[in-house]
Amino acid sequence: MEFHVMTLFPEMIVQGLSTSVLGRAIARGIISLNAVNIRDYTLDKHKRVDDYPYGGGAGMVMSADPVVRCCRSVFEKIEEKKRGEGKEAGRRRVIYLTPQGRTFSQEMAREFAKEEELVFLCGHYEGIDERAVEMVVTDQVSIGDYVLTGGELAVMVVIDAVARLVPGVLNNGDSAEFETFHDHLLEYPQYTRPEVYEGRAVPEVLLSGHHAKIEQWRRQQSIERTRALRPELLERAVKEGLV
C-alpha cells in the first residue's frame, strides 16, 4: 500500500514513520511512504505558499495553487505507476487532516486500509484556501476535538493505524484482528512472566492450558472492561448483536 503525504514538513513525516514496525514494513516494501513538499510546487519567486485572508482576520491562509499543483503531480506519479503495472487508474482518495473533519476511528482505519493508495493533505496556518479543498479533497478527517499546529501529527496517527492493518505489517497475522475495538470491545488484560509479581499472581485460568476456557475468560474480561471504562461502546456492541 502506498501513502502519499502533501506537507510543508516532509522530514517530520519521514522521521516520524521510519522507525519500529512501520520502518520495517517500509524497508520490506510492504508499504511505501512518499512525503512531498508543497513548497516545491509554488510558482512564487520567493517560494511563498501562504497569503493574507480575504476579508481580514488573524493568521495566514495556504494558497490554492501550490496545493492543487502538488496534488496533480502526486496523481501523475500514481497513474504512471499504474500504467506500468497495466492497472486501471481507480478512484483516488485525498484525505485532508483538519479539526473540521469526521472523527477518525478504527472503522475508518479499516475502510482506508482497503485502498491501494491514499493521498493525504496537511494544512498549516489558518487553513487552506477553500477552492483547493473543493478541487482535490475527497475526505476530511480529524483525530479529535482539539486544534494542532498542523496536520502532520494527525496524518502520522492515521497512517500508523491504517498501515498496521495491511497484511504483513504486523508479524502475527492474528494480532490486528483480536484487539481493542474488535466487536466494539476493549482488549482483555495481558500477562507475561513472572507468574507472581510483587505478590500479584497471573489469573489461574491463563495457566490452565484449556483454550476454550481461556477464550471464554478473555471475552468476559473484554465485556467487563468495556462496561467499566467505555459503556457507550458496550451499548453499541449490544445494539449490533455482537455481545
Interface positions with ligand ADE (CB under 6 A): 97-99, 142-144, 146-148, 151, 154
Amino acid at 203: P
> What is the C-alpha end-to-end distance of the chain, expressed in Å?
33
The residue (of 66 and 99) whose beta carbon lies closer to ligand ADE is 99
In the complex, the smallest distance separating the C-beta of residue 147 from ligand ADE, rounded to whole angstroms, is: 5
Q: Which helix (H) or strand (E) holds 102?
A: strand 94-103
- The three grid cell numbers given for residue 110, joined into one nine-digit string: 479499516
Nearer to ligand ADE, 5 or 234 (CB): 5
Residue 34 beta carbon to ligand ADE: minimum distance, rounded to whole angstroms = 20
Q: Which residue has the cell 475527497?
A: 138
Rounded least distance, CB 205 to ligand ADE, Å? 41
Please, what is the minimum distance in Å from the beta carbon of residue 70 to ligand ADE?
18
3-class secondary-structure state, position 231:
helix
Nearer to ligand ADE, 25 or 161 (CB): 161
Residue 70 vs 156, nearer CB to ligand ADE: 156
Shortest distance, position 104 Cβ to ligand ADE, whole Å: 8
What grid cell was written down for 204? 489461574
C-alpha distances out from residue 109 to 4, 87, 114, 165, 185, Å: 16, 24, 9, 8, 16
What letter would DSSP give residue 126?
Answer: T
Length of the chain counted residue by residue = 243
Q: Which is nearer to ligand ADE, 155 or 234 (CB)?
A: 155
Residue 157 vs 202, nearer CB to ligand ADE: 157
Query: Which residues face 7 on adjacent strands?
Result: 37
2-14 burial: b if 16+ Cβ within 10 Å, else e: bbbbbbbbbebbe
Residue 171 C-beta: closest distance to ligand ADE, Å: 30
